């Protein structure tokens, strides 16, 4: 650890952004990077420093001078703490998880992760706190799908007869990454790199970088249409076994492209397609009669379950729906 926290932080800032030390105090939006690139750079700085200043602070405060001073203050406190107390031995992520899962292993020798382990994994992902609630609402539906329903695993990601899961609401993918790590698609140790500049685990999932991710998402309103096309393509090529699940948010359904997809899927009787709607009550105008009613009127087999009723959720995911696509609307407790 450097003896001069102020100089240390300013040097890392300058190295990361490839600017001069004096330039580091200019207004943030004059640095020339777009917001996503800037967020990645900021996350890289945070990871290298080990500090906890939220990324959102970098956008809320008008000048970097204020932020740099905040980082310096935190770093100085760390220096004082280190001098006063010997640092505790660092435990690796794998070691911490093994405390919870040592007794349970899969046939392949991988640890079995419980819900508490997934929450633990999510808690280690920092930098996108504004989407934490979005991700938490998706945890149990994704966990139940991968634990009890989907026919897919690390060994079958290229199998054309695998089931597919598409995360359309790609913002706040922490729950998705946690489940992928728990199921062996990615190394759990990678979780600590979330949001770092060179990490594959970005704030939106990228199918070209992460094993098991079917689509790159984050721009809302596209996943359901992609899922419809995928389900139609599988049927057209004679693959009648694979199921396609797509997770959307209720606010995302405000996007008009979804309604064309809903109408087409029902008219085409895509009965290997299931849409999982997370109803957080965030749509702009609401859904008179409930979201499930709108799917049912369009010709879907539709059901509403509570996010706290895991057994009903599992039954809804597993139930066959011949001749019609399925909509499982998951009502969030508020």
Helix/strand/coil (H, E, C) string of 150-174?
CCCCHHHCCCCCCCEEEECCCCCCH
Q: What are the start-end ranges of the H helices in 53-131?
A: 55-60, 64-84, 93-101, 115-123
Cβ count near 201 (within 10 Å): 23
Task: Put the strands of the sheet holding 326-331 in their side by side order.
Answer: 164-167, 244-249, 273-279, 326-331, 301-306
What gap in Å lies between CA 261 and CA 241, rounded to an integer? 21
DSSP designation for 110: P
What gap in Å lies between CA 283 and CA 296, rounded to an integer? 19
pLDDT in tens, 49-81: 565 555 445 444 444 445 555 555 655 555 444
Q: Which two tokens stand for residue 128?
A: 């996108």
What gap in Å lies between CA 299 and CA 321, rounded to an integer? 12
Residue 214, pLDDT > 90, answer yes
All structural domains of the chain: 5-84 (1.10.1200.10), 97-331 (3.40.50.970)
C-alpha distances in angstroms, 134 versus 137, 174, 279? Answer: 5, 9, 11
Percent of the chain past pLDDT 70, that is, above it, reads 64
Q: What is the pTM of this model?
A: 0.68
The backbone torsions φ and ψ at residue 209, rounded to the nearest 5 degrees and listed phi first, read -115, -25
Q: Please name every residue paired with 247 in a beta bridge, in sequence order, or none if there are none.
A: 167, 276
Task: Tell me the residue length of the chain.
Answer: 334
pLDDT in tens, 140-159: 999 999 999 999 999 999 99
């Amino acid at each position: 650890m450097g003896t001069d926290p102020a100089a240390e932080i300013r040097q890392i800032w300058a190295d990361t952004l490839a600017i001069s030390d004096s330039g580091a105090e200019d207004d943030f939006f004059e640095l020339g990077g777009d917001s996503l690139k800037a967020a990645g750079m900021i996350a890289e700085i945070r990871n290298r420093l080990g500090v906890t200043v939220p990324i959102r602070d970098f956008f809320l405060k008008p000048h970097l001078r204020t932020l740099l001073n905040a980082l310096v203050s935190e770093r100085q406190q760390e220096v004082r703490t280190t001098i006063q107390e010997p640092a505790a031995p660092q435990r690796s992520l794998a070691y911490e998880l093994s405390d919870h899962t040592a007794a349970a292993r899969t046939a392949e020798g991988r640890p079995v992760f419980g819900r508490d382990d997934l929450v633990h994994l999510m808690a280690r992902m920092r930098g996108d706190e504004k989407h934490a609630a979005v991700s938490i609402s998706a945890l149990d539906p994704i966990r139940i799908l991968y634990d009890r329903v989907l026919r897919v695993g690390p060994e079958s990601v290229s199998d054309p007869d695998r089931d597919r899961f598409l995360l359309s609401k790609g913002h706040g993918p922490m729950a998705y990454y946690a489940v992928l790590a728990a199921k062996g698609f990615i190394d759990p140790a990678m979780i600590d790199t979330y949001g770092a500049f060179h990490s594959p685990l970005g704030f939106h999932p990228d199918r070209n970088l992460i094993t098991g991710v079917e689509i790159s998402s984050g721009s809302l309103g596209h996943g359901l249409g992609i899922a419809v096309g995928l389900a139609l393509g599988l049927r057209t090529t004679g693959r009648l076994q694979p199921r396609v699940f797509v997770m959307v948010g209720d606010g995302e359904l405000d996007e008009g492209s979804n309604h064309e997809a809903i109408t087409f899927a029902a008219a085409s009787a895509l009965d290997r397609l299931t849409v999982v709607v997370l109803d957080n009550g965030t749509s702009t105008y609401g859904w008179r009669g409930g979201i499930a009613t709108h799917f049912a009127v369009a010709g879907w087999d539709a059901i509403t379950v509570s996010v706290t009723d895991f057994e009903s959720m599992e039954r809804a995911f597993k139930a066959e729906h011949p001749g019609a696509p399925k909509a499982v609307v998951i009502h969030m407790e508020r």
